[in-house]
């Protein structure tokens, strides 16, 4: 279903409700640059580090596209998706059933969930929705739950602390959205709905956050303007 949520005036802040869930896959493909490519690089490193009998957690799994793709490529590991949106999980379960994907989908708070020891954690554009005051605690919790040499692969929208460059990165991104059929009105409406909900860090801040909270190494593995994918190694 096509994303037309912001063709009308907004009346609330952005949330992952049923209205968003039913158009979320279309929203991702038209709103996140090189989304398929970032998923592929995430899948590659996830599978490289996922041992037989191991566990992978996808935090904020939304409609479970990543987990479904991984389930096609491995039958010897447990794939667990966590999300706190019933609407998203409903869509995820329908897709998983349609593809016959053997994945576990859990309604849970990623900050409070009791994780088992895992090889891999993934979060695709999830940390940016976690309040900065508790974001580092979550990263520390992830590191503590990983096996030695386990990895955390995460994608985030990023900012630049250079004002002119940051403005131009945003402008370039908005051009991307316009080229994918979003109007200036829709772009402005979504920006307003996300105000104080989505709080991105810079590339450097994301790497420092990982290194300060249990990871021995963290670096960028993909970037398009102000969208980035990182890998952190315990």
Structure tokens that stand for 168 in this block: 């131009």
Rounded (10°) CA dihedral 150, 151, 152, 157: 170
Check whether 6 has a pLDDT greater than 60.
no
Q: Mean pLDDT over residues 123-145, rounded?
A: 96
Structure tokens that stand for 140 in this block: 């520390």
**What is the rounded distance in angstroms from the CA atom of residue 153 to the CA atom of residue 160?**
21
Task: Tell me what pLDDT residue 17 has.
Answer: 58
Q: Give the residue with greater pLDDT, 157 vs 4.
A: 157
User: How does strand 55-59 pair with strand 146-159?
Assistant: unpaired
Q: Mean pLDDT over residues 110-128, rounded?
A: 97
Whole-number CA gyration radius for the chain: 17
Which pTM value belongs to this model?
Answer: 0.91
Task: Tell me what pLDDT residue 196 has.
Answer: 77
**What is the rounded distance in angstroms from the CA atom of residue 149 to the CA atom of residue 106?**
26
Structural domains for the chain:
11-233 (3.40.50.150)
**What is the rounded distance in angstroms from the CA atom of residue 52 to the CA atom of residue 69?**
17
**What is the rounded distance in angstroms from the CA atom of residue 61 to the CA atom of residue 125?**
10
Asked if residues 212 and 201 have their Cβ atoms less than 8 Å apart, the reply is no
Check whether 2 has a pLDDT greater than 70.
no
Q: pLDDT for 160-198, tens place per residue?
A: 999 999 999 999 999 999 998 888 888 788 878 777 789
């Amino acid at each position: 279903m096509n994303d037309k949520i912001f063709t009308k005036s907004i009346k609330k802040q952005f949330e992952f409700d049923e209205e968003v869930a039913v158009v979320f896959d279309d929203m991702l493909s038209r709103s996140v640059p090189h989304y398929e490519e970032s998923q592929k690089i995430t899948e590659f490193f996830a599978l490289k580090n996922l041992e037989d009998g191991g566990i992978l957690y996808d935090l904020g799994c939304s409609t479970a596209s990543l987990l479904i793709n991984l389930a096609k490529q491995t039958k010897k590991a447990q794939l667990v998706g966590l999300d706190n949106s019933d609407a998203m999980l409903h869509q995820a379960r329908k897709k998983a059933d349609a593809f016959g994907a053997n994945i576990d989908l859990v309604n849970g708070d990623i900050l409070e969930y009791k994780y088992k020891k895992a090889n891999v954690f993934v979060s695709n554009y999830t940390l940016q929705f976690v309040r900065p005051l508790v974001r580092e605690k979550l990263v520390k919790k992830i590191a503590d739950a990983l096996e030695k040499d386990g990895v955390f692969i995460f994608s985030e929208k990023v900012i630049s602390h250079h004002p002119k460059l940051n403005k131009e990165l945003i402008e370039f991104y908005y051009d991307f959205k316009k080229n994918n059929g979003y109007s200036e009105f829709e772009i402005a409406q979504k920006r307003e709905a996300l105000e104080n909900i989505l709080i991105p860090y810079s590339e450097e801040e994301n790497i420092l956050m990982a290194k300060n909270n249990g990871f021995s190494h963290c670096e960028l593995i993909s970037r398009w303007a102000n969208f980035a994918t990182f890998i952190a190694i315990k």
